[in-house]
Chain A
Amino acid sequence: MKKLRLTLVCAVPLLLLLTACGSKPALAPVTLTEQQNKLFQQSCQTCHANAASPAPQMGDIKAWEKRVEKGLPVLVQNAMQGFNAMPAGGMCTICTPDDFEAMIRYMATAQTKTK
């Protein structure tokens, strides 16, 4: 019995860990502030809400999944430094790292409301 309990104690966290490894990463949805919504409209949506652009489109969960796998800090850094076709800062002059993080969450989870 003791052996069984030990096995279970070891096995449960391992299973949880494996489950965690196998699941797709997810971002918590976010609601943009009024200012962030304005910045989004002035800059990000030029490419991320434009079917002619190769950028991952707002709300395209599949396109965002593989990017989200890199982790939010990497995505924020890419937004600030530019990455492939994306220009540094995404054409947003006054966006802060917090703004970039919020707007990435917003696009990846397709939230549409503002506070």
Chain B
Amino acid sequence: MVNRRQFLSLTAATGVGVLLPACHKQSAPVLPVKDANGHYLWQNWSGSEHAYPSQRVAPNNIDELKQVIASAPTPIRCIGAGHSFNGQCTTDGTLLALDNFSGLVGHNNLEYLATVKAGTRLQQLGKLLEDVGQDMVNIPDVNKQTLAGAIATGTHGSGHGLPALHGRVQSFRLLTLQGQEMNCSASENAEIYHAALVGLGAFGIVTEYTLENWPLAHTERQVTMLPLEQMLTEWPAQYAKNRNAEFFYIPFTGLAMRILHNQTDKAVTARGEDKDMESLMDLKKLRDYVSWSPSLRRRVANMVADNHGTEYAVDYGWKLLASERSVRFHEMEYHLPLDAQLDALKEVIAVIETQRPDVFFPIEARVIKGDDRAWLSPFYQRDTGSIAVHAYYEDDYKFLYELVEPILKKHGGRPHWGKLHSLTEKDFVQLYPQWQQVKAIRQQLDPQGKLVNPYLKRVWGV
């Protein structure tokens, strides 16, 4: 992003070290680590959701897993890595971790298939695949999630010709609440495959996936700072000619950071130390010190960005596509018809820059190829442009619902299943043509609602 030392010195040089009162800081309640029943606190990654589950289990094998679903307190929620920003993992019943269902089951390098256990973390998966000569060229920006959590929520990377993770799932193995194991693919239990692939952990317990990967090859990463207007003008051409294209707009600066990834024959060039998070905290300082003067804020940022140039790195894709995200935040992301993306983005920027000077987290824009495999895919039957807006974990994030979400809804957006949104079943019926069929299949597989928590009751309308 920006050169940290320059940024700090320039900020100091402005001579305006007046720390504004932290009026947008949200005082998070201090939660007891144990409740009256002796159950320990659980919180999601961002800290926005919490619960005191009566049981936490990590079964070692399929027989133990069958015992859990037969007798554990409900609701039973598969936790993944707990990275979802909304309440889908929250439960006072059973938190089910598939941490012991991790690793590679097998692979086939004729078709570049790999069967992977559901609890495998994306961070580990890259190395496992590298060892067998395969790669996933469209992994998300954050790689702390489990494979099952990422797929069940429609998690994605960016690429005009690349579907989200679930778009490369050939089949998966589902353990139903009745204790039956079934393979699901486009040719076997097809309706369940289409309904439960992006299934929010509400159809049964998925224990493994067979992924369609790519041959292992080097990827080149290019990161460039440029004016927002130029970025917006060039965006359609950029995503059309690059394998993975995305950009971040830095609020109140007029600057965008473009990130491109393409296959290359070049030798490995180290990515170097990741300074993104330090730069992010510098943006916070800039917010803290000069948010009273948007013009000064913009001038300081532009002075620094002038010297940025383009950064290059070459390595395997899994090492470059994801970045260390060690600063916690809240996030809302919607997936819009591709043609609506830039108009919506301009509206979002305008509303933030006129009403919320406290926002400093970059706004992210990505593209995702439409798919037909998952009926609840936010990319179902349409090429998509996504917009993600973030708020620092200590800051008030109600503006995401009050200011940002109405714009994204108005442009026909579908919310990311793992992120913040206020939608209910009434909305989803309109957004997903197969909604009623999916709901009926879910009801058949979980007639007692053992997998449904309060958040999912709102989603499913039950």
A residues contacting B by CB (< 8 A) are 39, 42-43, 46-47, 50, 52-55, 77, 80-82, 85, 87-89, 91, 93-94, 96-97
Contact = CB atoms under 8 A, between A and B. Distances in A.
B56 interface: yes
Interface string B143-171: 01000000000000000000000000000
A77 B30 CA distance: 11
A115 to B, nearest CB: 19
B57 A94 contact: yes
Contacts, number: 71
A97 B121 CA distance: 24
Contact of B43 (A42, A47, A53, A88): A88
B402 interface: no
Nearest to A54: B326
Nearest to A43: B99
Best-buried of B30, B44, B326, B328 by chain A (most CB within 10 Å): B326
B97 A77 contact: no
A70 B46 CA distance: 24
Given A87-B82, A89-B42, A91-B144, A55 B326 contact: yes
Given A93-B56, A97-B33, A87 B328 contact: yes
Given A81-B30, A93-B56, A52 B144 contact: no
Contacts of B56: 93-94
A67 B81 CA distance: 26
A2 to B, nearest CB: 53
Nearest to B99: A42
A88 B57 CA distance: 17
Nearest to B143: A46
Nearest to A85: B326
Contacts of A97: 33, 40
Nearest to A82: B47
Contact of A88 (B47, B58, B97): B47
B43 A89 contact: yes
19 contacts: A47-B326, A50-B324, A53-B326, A54-B326, A81-B31, A81-B33, A81-B41, A82-B43, A87-B44, A87-B45, A88-B41, A88-B47, A91-B82, A91-B144, A93-B58, A93-B79, A93-B99, A94-B57, A94-B97
A54 B45 CA distance: 16
Given A50-B324, A93-B95, A93-B97, 5 more contacts: A54-B277, A55-B326, A81-B43, A88-B47, A89-B82
B265 interface: no
A16 to B, nearest CB: 34
B324 A80 contact: no
Contacts of A89: 42-43, 82
B99 A77 contact: no
B326 A80 contact: no
A42 B44 CA distance: 17
Nearest to A51: B273
B267 to A, nearest CB: 22
B443 interface: no
A43 B100 CA distance: 12
Interface string B18-34: 00000000000011010
B79 A53 contact: no
B279 interface: no
A63 to B, nearest CB: 14
B58 to A, nearest CB: 5
B253 to A, nearest CB: 24
Interface in B68-102: 79, 81-82, 95, 97, 99, 102
A73 to B, nearest CB: 10
A96 B44 CA distance: 16
Contacts of B82: 87, 89, 91, 93
A52 B57 contact: no
